A and B are shown apart, each in its own frame.
Chain A
Amino acid sequence: MHPSQDPSGRLLLSGNEAVALSALHCGVALGTGYPGTPSTEILEGFSALGGKAQWAPNEKVAAEVALGAAFARARVLCTMKHVGLNVAADVLFTMTYSGVDGGYVLVVADDPGMASSQNEQDSRRYAEAAAAPMFEPADSQEAYDLLHTAFEVSERWQIPVLFRLTTRVSHSKSPVTPRFPLDALFPATGAPQPEFVRNIAGRVMVPGHAKPAHKRLRAKLADLQEWNEAEGPNRVERRSAALGVITSGISYHHVREAAPDASILKLGLSHPLPMKTLRDFASSVERCVVIEENDPWLATTCRAAGLAVEAKDDTIFRFGELNVDRVRRILAHDSSPEPEPPRGRPPELCAGCPHRSSFEVMKELDCIVSGDIGCYTLAALPPIAAMDMMIDMGAAVGMGLGLRHVLPRAQAKRVVSVIGDSTFLHGGLPGLVEMAYNPPETGHVLVILDNGTTAMTGQQEHPGTGRQLDGEATYQVSYEGMARAAGVTNVVTLNPIREKARFKELLAEALRKDELTVFIARSPCILAAGRIAAWEKERKAREAADAATPPCACDPDCGCGGPAGD
């Protein structure tokens, strides 16, 4: 990270870079997560700055690794996109009960407008449903500052905290004045020394322990709500008494520009809401409007409490992100049809992408393709148009099996599940087990598209690449081994470009048989191929050097780990 610096020492950072720098300055001992736009650059930035950061196979595992670290009194950061929180929801809903001993901040990046997502779900609902505090920074400076506050809150109330970013906070750059120099590695912040202290009643959430834990959680939230009223990171800006706006996150900046004279209540900690502050503000202005993206969560909550606030017209403004023009319309009660944004060119699979070959083969064989999430989802668009469904990470396998179970035989025989390497490890693995456990009568075919990287989000490493987040070598998962271990006997590995004719022949044969077949279509992402080849060369050179090193000639107690000499 080499950010621009202005003459007064301010840095020009994206929201994600600001979180990464703040994590370093907060003394975060471990960052973990799963890549997902718009959250990906946080852990990459934290690692580049010298922090310990790692990719987990999915968000649930990441949130659990983080929980273990927080039980051990560490400060820990966990990052994911909004739909990733669905995967991690199981641990979220109970770790608020157990609470934590260290500081635990879970960054969730929402994508209003779906710049790169399959839905525009609103994570504020999770804060309320799971009873987790939620911070909402509006720009990079707030992302930097509020992360400090989030750790203070997490440690003071011993509770995991949600930190909600949105696409325009994560990916917009704005000035940041940091509290420490850019290169200050872990300045003294009073981060506690990790230590295990047994607390069975507090951490084993059997009903007998969870019942009092739930009561403790509600008491913590009540206490935190009082703190939020008195000294929370919320701000009232008094301007005109004719118009007041309640808002949070990036919407605050749109409001400042669209209605420069409006009074504003800007929320920084939006759960638990400071209801008295909201009530006082609403009654202090003639007209009070709630400006929020996506769900009418804030407006509904205010109205349920009897506050006289206006909400946006959700027949129009619930969809997509807000901007200055849309905020002007909301404030003017203008619900006329909005101008259509110009139609740009849609993205497509790169020329030379190995996925092209794979989908051409499936298209030629008239397959019904149960697909998944990654670059290859672009194969659903014309001119390839060879993917029939895509819903969530890992669903390719289960949906394909469901189709096979009920379709007439002739159609069932055409069904193929197609999933990328990282997505398979994230959510497809239990589907593979299901495939072997409850095989359809017609058998099934699973194609794992292994391009050696998490291409979609910008070429991150994963457990199948043999490299960790920072490129360090590690164990490498074998898809072939996993398929065989699950009980699948037909396992075929081939290169979909160089062996396209063979792929077509073997796939046609697999579709004819009433058996289970797993194909691993292996060819590197063309954007990552150079990097992968360089790494492979380095690894081989290192292995050759290791093989050439004579065994240690010292005694068995020297601790070098090598075989003892004579």
Chain B
Amino acid sequence: MSATPISPINVRFAGLGGTGVIRASDIFADVAFRQGHTVKKAEVHGMSQRGGSVQSDVRFGAEVHSPMIPDGACDFLVVLEPTQVEVVRGGLRPGGVLLAPADIPAGKLPTSKALNVALLGRLSRHFDFPEQAWRASLRMHFNEKLHAANNQAFDLGRNS
């Protein structure tokens, strides 16, 4: 994906509270925004730490109106928890890209908590954002002691 898309690119992150949905969507929105795109992002907070279903929508392009992705219009659907794949699959447009935990090689994650970062790595393949922009955003959004594990998880998603 290159240049600035006219109609927005729609990326939805989904999972359960505590699986890193909000963090992953923050990082993705940050990377797209720093590349000069107009970005909007919508989610519902509140009960997100209580284990319920959580979704976060990120839309970017030259012009974005509603912050919420219309029904069945997701270009990318990034699901961070296996049980949620079927729950949210209907949001994907025909031909859209689904990224799920099964896409990450089993047993290779430095820590199970880093699944969201590994899936960001996998998502990164679909955009021409510079790799260092992703790495910089990861560093900014996590505690320093997690940087090494996150870089490893990002590599796993991006390069394996």
Which A residues lie at the B interface, using CB under 8 A? 2, 4-8, 10, 12, 37-38, 115-116, 139, 167-168, 171-175, 250, 253-254, 256-257, 323-325, 339, 342-350, 375, 378, 456-458, 527
B155: CB under 8 A from chain A? no
Contact, CB under 8 Å: B46 / A172 = no
Contact, CB under 8 Å: B33 / A323 = no
Q: Chain A interface secondary structure, helix, strand, loop or mixed? A: loop
Kindly identify which residue among B44, B45, B52, B68 contacts A324, using a CB–CB cutoff of 8 Å: B68
In the bound complex, what is the Cα–Cα distance between A343 and B30 (angstroms)?
30
Contact, CB under 8 Å: B39 / A527 = no
* Chain B residues positioned under 8 Å from A38 (CB to CB): 45-46
Known: A348-B52, A375-B50. A172 touches B41 (CB 8 A): yes
In the bound complex, what is the Cα–Cα distance between A8 and B36 (angstroms)?
8
B87: CB under 8 A from chain A? yes
* Chain B residues positioned under 8 Å from A12 (CB to CB): 29-30, 33, 39, 41
Kindly identify which residue among B29, B30, B39, B90 contacts A342, using a CB–CB cutoff of 8 Å: B90
Closest 5 CB pairs of A and B: A344-B53, A116-B46, A347-B52, A347-B50, A172-B67
In the bound complex, what is the Cα–Cα distance between A345 and B66 (angstroms)?
26
Q: Count the B residues whose beta carbon is within 8 Å of the partner chain — how many?
A: 37
* Chain B residues positioned under 8 Å from A2 (CB to CB): 140
* Chain A residues positioned under 8 Å from B16 (CB to CB): 345
* Chain B residues positioned under 8 Å from A254 (CB to CB): 65-66, 68
Q: CB-nearest residue of chain A relative to B141?
A: A2
In the bound complex, what is the Cα–Cα distance between A22 and B117 (angstroms)?
33
Kindly identify which residue among A139, A167, A171, A350 contacts B51, using a CB–CB cutoff of 8 Å: A350
Contact, CB under 8 Å: B50 / A6 = no
B160: CB under 8 A from chain A? no
Q: Chain B interface secondary structure, helix, strand, loop or mixed? A: mixed
* Chain B residues positioned under 8 Å from A257 (CB to CB): 65-66, 70
Interface string of B32-59 (1 = CB under 8 A from A): 0111111111111111011111000000
Kindly identify which residue among B51, B64, B90 contacts A348, using a CB–CB cutoff of 8 Å: B51
Contact, CB under 8 Å: A343 / B87 = yes
Contact, CB under 8 Å: A174 / B46 = no
B159: CB under 8 A from chain A? no
* Chain A residues positioned under 8 Å from B66 (CB to CB): 250, 253-254, 256-257, 323-324
In the bound complex, what is the Cα–Cα distance between A172 and B42 (angstroms)?
4
Q: CB-nearest residue of chain B relative to A343?
A: B87
In the bound complex, what is the Cα–Cα distance between A458 and B45 (angstroms)?
10
B124: CB under 8 A from chain A? no
Within 8 A of A (CB), among B12-43: 16-17, 29-30, 33-43
Interface string of B76-87 (1 = CB under 8 A from A): 000000011001
